[in-house]
Amino acid sequence: MKRALITGVTGQDGAYLSKQLLEKGYKVYGVFRRVSTPNFWRLQSLGIYSKINLIPADLLDMGSMIEAIKISDPDEIYNLAAQSFVSTAFEQPTGNAEITGLAVTKFLESIKHISPSSKFYQASSSEMYGNSGVKTQNEKTPFVPASPYAAAKLYAHEMTNIYKNSYGMFATTGILFNHESPLRGLEFVSRKITNAVAGISLGIRQKLTLGNLDSIRDWGYAPEYMEAVYLMMQQEKPDTFVISTGEAHTVREFVKLSFDAVGLDWEKHVEIDKKLYRPLEVSYLRGDYKKAKRVLGWKPKVTFKKLIKIMLDEDLNRWKQVLDGNPIPWDAPLYPSESKFLTRNIKK
């Protein structure tokens, strides 16, 4: 039986990857950080919480990560943990640099010394491309990070390559473009939209507040992207792969299609707040997944419209269950209104 260690196991990607590995017969160990309010709702909603071997640890504490590696004795290590919300990185740049960037070096160093035969996956990000000026980004496109998050991810990406080339470690990287699902956090614009549209259609709320509607992104379906991540780890040699759909859509399109699906005019319900703009905007991201298709045999199947329908249907179902008095594992009831957040990172 293969053994896998996953950091970020309580997040969207960690939950879907855990489910897939369990179905393949893996013994799955998940690293989580102890907090006063546990966040296991994604694992619970997928029905796999009891099947994960949970290890409390902290990415910034090298000793605890060494202990996690010793406990799990993994064949494969998937580093999915990061401070992944870009706007938060502008508010907490040094913390983001440590968690998203420096912690990966500590992790790689730990693996090199105590488990050098373990395969390692680093979750890189399309945000690393920033404003590259290239309309379609692939594995050879130059990186021009435009946020503390992107800079930290790029550091981790390059350190992973350095350890691979210097020490012969199986260390592979996946440059994943935006990938969404019903398990996406409410701080991300995709879930923010579908959750709000579901609430508005049911009469629970009236407005949706957003920032830049003209941002263009390549949106895919998270479970499919985790299939690609698994395939990367099954190759004979480690490499870097772009995972994307090859399509680009604006936030405005996402909003319009979501409201259209419930028969509402989006312009009557959406408000723009400059506070929600990034200090430095990334205007356009679109990936080229040809290498993944050629080498991994992977390609996206869920279309942009289908993705929105999957997310919206699930948020509608969740709100209906809540209105019917049925408690479910879910994040929305605990998430505060963004109007309560105070920040000076306002786009001028």
Of 193, 221, 217, 187, residue with least CA distance to 300? 221
| CATH number for 74 | 3.40.50.720
Q: Are 121 and 160 contained in the same domain?
A: yes
Question: Does residue 299 fall inside a structural domain?
Answer: no
Question: Does residue 296 fall inside a structural domain?
Answer: no
Residues paired with 217 in a beta bridge: 249
Q: 219 — alpha (psi -120 to 50), left (phi > 0) or beta?
A: beta
Q: Are 65 and 97 contained in the same domain?
A: yes
Instruction: Give the DSSP letter of residue 186.
Output: T
Separation CA 54–CA 32 (nearest Å) = 7
Q: Are 85 and 191 contained in the same domain?
A: no
Residues paired with 6 in a beta bridge: 30, 78
Q: Which residue in 26, 129, 149, 221 is the catalytic one?
A: 149
What is the total count of domains within the chain?
Answer: 2
Q: What are phi and psi of 5, to 5 degrees?
A: -115, 125
Q: Are 157 and 206 contained in the same domain?
A: no
Question: Does residue 234 fall inside a structural domain?
Answer: yes
Helix (H/G/I), strand (E/B), else coil: 139: coil
Q: Are 137 and 87 contained in the same domain?
A: yes
Is 149 a catalytic site residue? yes
Q: Which residue in 26, 72, 84, 127 is the catalytic one?
A: 127
Q: Which residue in 84, 110, 118, 125 is the catalytic one?
A: 125
The pLDDT score that the predictor gives to residue 338 is 62
Q: Are 313 and 195 contained in the same domain?
A: yes
Q: Are 65 and 172 contained in the same domain?
A: yes
Q: Are 69 and 175 contained in the same domain?
A: yes
The pLDDT score that the predictor gives to residue 65 is 96
Question: Does residue 348 fall inside a structural domain?
Answer: no
Question: Does residue 130 fall inside a structural domain?
Answer: yes
3-state secondary structure 257-307: HHHHHCCCCHHHCEEECHHHCCCCCCCECCECCHHHHHHHCCCCCCCHHHH
Q: Are 201 and 150 contained in the same domain?
A: no
Report the chain (348 residues): mean pLDDT per 10 consecutive residues.
Answer: 97 98 98 86 97 95 96 98 70 88 96 98 97 94 95 98 98 98 96 98 96 96 98 98 98 98 98 87 94 98 98 97 90 71 52
| CATH number for 259 | 3.90.25.10
Q: Are 167 and 207 contained in the same domain?
A: no
Q: Are 213 and 223 contained in the same domain?
A: no
Is 127 a catalytic site residue? yes
The pLDDT score that the predictor gives to residue 91 is 77
Q: Are 144 and 252 contained in the same domain?
A: no
- What number of other Cβ atoms are within 10 A of residue 310's Cβ? 17
Q: What is the CA radius of gyration of the chain?
A: 20
The pLDDT score that the predictor gives to residue 50 is 97
Query: What DSSP line would sit under 72-103, residue for residue?
Result: H--SEEEE--S---HHHHHHSHHHHIIIIIIH
Instruction: Give the DSSP letter of residue 235.
Output: S
The pLDDT score that the predictor gives to residue 344 is 52
Question: Does residue 346 fall inside a structural domain?
Answer: no
The pLDDT score that the predictor gives to residue 84 is 62
Is 72 a catalytic site residue? no
Question: Does residue 255 fall inside a structural domain?
Answer: yes
Question: Does residue 345 fall inside a structural domain?
Answer: no
* Host domain of residue 52: 3-179+219-243
